[in-house]
């Protein structure tokens, strides 16, 4: 994992999130310290999924919270005003509430079906990405089943960024794959594609 993250950072990934639903707290802190240091070396954002305690212990840049995790207000109180806090959402109402509550970004959670998200009902689809984006002024990251075949559609639906696990971990050449993604994303933002 560490070598894959390093290759992705070298190729231009600007944010990394540590997500492990089964690791012990000690193991998560250990991983967070290593990955956080790596991200700092490359000037990238480092977030911890769900676990505010691990984010605090490792000195991460922030945390990504689901709807059933620690409430945003408490996370902000513990992490402070400069921490980056993202919230997973599946509806426009949840997006609006996240913005009112002071989230820094929202994540449209499970755009397409994926094996890394087994706790959610059906995928949102591209139309819902567009609807959620229109409900808030916050940056929107799309999560779930995103790969080299569909990421352009997701970006064109309104996402400001995409989160990938399987596609990056399975890439034969992580650096080449990431450069392809970041080149398209930057061109789209510059030229409105």
Whether the predicted pLDDT of 14 surpasses 80: yes
How confident is the model over 50-73, as a mean pLDDT?
Answer: 96
Q: What number is the average pLDDT over the span 82-87? A: 97
Longest Cα–Cα distance of the chain, Å, equals: 45
> Residue 65, SS3?
strand
| Listed range (58-62, 122-126, 127-131) with the worst mean pLDDT | 122-126
Percent of the residues in the chain that have a pLDDT greater than 70, as a whole number: 92
Whether the CB-CB separation of 97 and 67 falls below 8 Å is answered with no
**Residue 116 contacts by C-beta under 8 Å, 6 or more apart in sequence?**
144, 165, 166
Q: Which ranges constitute the DSSP H helices of 42-121?
A: 52-58, 72-79, 92-101
Mean pLDDT of 44-71: 96
CATH number of the CATH domain containing 90: 3.20.20.70
The domain tally of the chain equals 1
Distance CA(50)–CA(39), nearest Å, equals: 19
Q: Is the pLDDT of residue 147 over 50?
A: yes
- The pLDDT of residue 186 is above 70: no
CB 94 within 8 A of CB 138: no
DSSP class per residue in 149-186: TTHHHHHHTT-SEEE-SHHHHH-SSHHHHHHHHHHHHH
pLDDT value at residue 120: 61
Confidence of residue 191 (pLDDT cuts 50, 70, 90): very low
Dist CA 128 CA 107 (whole Å): 12
- Containing structural domain, residue 11: 2-191
pLDDT at 73 over 80: yes
How far is 99 from 156, CA to CA, in rounded Å? 22
CA gap 60, 52 in Å, rounded: 10
Which run of H or of E encompasses 84? strand 84-89
Sheet holding 15-18, edge to edge: 15-18, 45-49, 62-65, 84-89, 105-109, 140-143, 161-163
What's the residue count for the chain?
193
What amino acid positions are annotated as catalytic residues? 19, 88, 117
Higher pLDDT: 178 or 40? It is 40
Q: Give the DSSP H or E segment for 11.
A: helix 2-11
């Amino acid at each position: 994992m560490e070598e894959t993250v390093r290759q992705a950072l070298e190729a231009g990934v600007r944010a990394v999130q540590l997500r492990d639903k089964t690791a012990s707290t000690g193991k998560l802190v250990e991983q967070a310290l290593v990955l956080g240091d790596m991200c700092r070396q490359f000037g990238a954002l480092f977030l911890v999924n769900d676990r505010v305690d691990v984010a605090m212990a490792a000195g991460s840049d922030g945390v990504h919270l689901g709807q059933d995790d620690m409430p945003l207000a408490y996370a902000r109180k513990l992490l402070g005003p400069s921490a980056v806090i993202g919230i997973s959402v599946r509806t426009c109402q949840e997006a609006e509430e996240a913005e009112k509550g002071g989230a820094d970004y929202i994540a449209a959670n499970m755009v397409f079906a994926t094996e890394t998200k087994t706790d959610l009902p059906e995928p949102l689809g591209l139309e819902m990405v567009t609807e959620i984006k229109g409900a808030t002024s916050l940056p929107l990251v799309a999560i779930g089943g995103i790969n080299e075949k569909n990421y352009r559609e997701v970006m064109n639906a309104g996402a400001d960024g995409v989160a990938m696990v399987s596609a990056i971990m399975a890439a034969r050449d992580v650096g080449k794959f990431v450069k392809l993604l970041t080149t398209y994303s930057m061109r789209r933002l510059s030229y409105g594609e």
